[in-house]
Amino acid sequence: MSGSGFHVHGPHDHELEHAAQGGHDSHEKGGGMIAQIAVITAIIATVGAIFSYMGGATQANAGLYKNNAAIKKTEAANQWNFFQAKSTKQSLAEVSRDLSPEATRDKYQAKIDRYEKEKTEIKLGAEKLELEATTWDRASDEQMHQHHRWAQATTVLQVSIALAAIALLTRKKWLEYGMFALASVGVLVGALAALHI
């Protein structure tokens, strides 16, 4: 408002003031539609916030699981290196056994037998670590798939909210129906995410 008492309203200001004051024909002009869309939009926004949180949580889990897989792969590689070192020692003991006099061969054979036993234990440990790494990788992939579902659901709900705003501005009933349809699709995709599908 200027000092001269002259006040300019935007086109939507009058409608908002009129609706807030319970205008005489608010139901005829879509007052019921406004209240309905406002409530539905709040519900959609709440569901979208939950889906967004779940999407972030699954993404964080996927990263954590991938990190666990990398740790297990590193531990397995260390075990395979240890296995290789034992193999090298065993080979040297075999050469030493074959080149040494008959009286000292039993000493080298005992080492060869010990290295063979140790290699078997190391191999089992390395294979177990590789299996754990594969399990963590698979869990990470599942979490990322679920994250993508949550992100898809959130995006569809956001588009639904945008459509609700357009429906409020234009008061087009078909846009309101479109908002409901998109919200339903968003909830369905969220249900698929919750079910790990």
| pLDDT tens digits, one per residue of 41-76 | 999 999 999 999 999 999 999 999 999 999 999 999
- The residue behind tokens 């990788």 is 137
Place of tokens 């129906």: 177
Please report the pLDDT score of residue 197 as a whole number: 87
Q: What is the pTM of this model?
A: 0.69
The answer to the question of residue 73 being in a domain is: yes
* Residue 23 in domain: no
Query: Does residue 69 belong to any structural domain of this protein?
Result: yes
Look at residue 1 and give its three-state secondary structure: coil
Residue 99 contacts residue 124 (beta carbons within 8 Å): no
How far apart, in whole angstroms, are the C-alpha atoms of residue 34 and residue 196? 36
Structural domains counted in the chain: 1
The predicted-structure confidence for 69-78, as pLDDT tens digits, reads as follows: 999 999 999 9
Domain membership flag for residue 70: yes
Confirm whether 29 is domain-assigned: no
* Helix, strand, or coil (residue 22): coil
Instruction: Report whether 73 contacts 161 (CB < 8 A).
Output: no
pLDDT for position 147: 94
The Cα–Cα gap between 17 and 22 comes to 9
Residue 170 lies in a domain: yes
Range(s) of the domain holding residue 44:
35-194
- Compute the mean pLDDT over every residue in the chain, rounded to the nearest whole number: 86
Residue 101 lies inside a defined structural domain of this protein: yes
* 139-to-68, 107, 125, 144, 193 alpha-carbon distances in Å: 10, 48, 21, 9, 15
Answer yes or no: is 121 within a domain. yes
Is residue 185 a contact partner of residue 169, using CB atoms and an 8 Å limit?
Answer: no
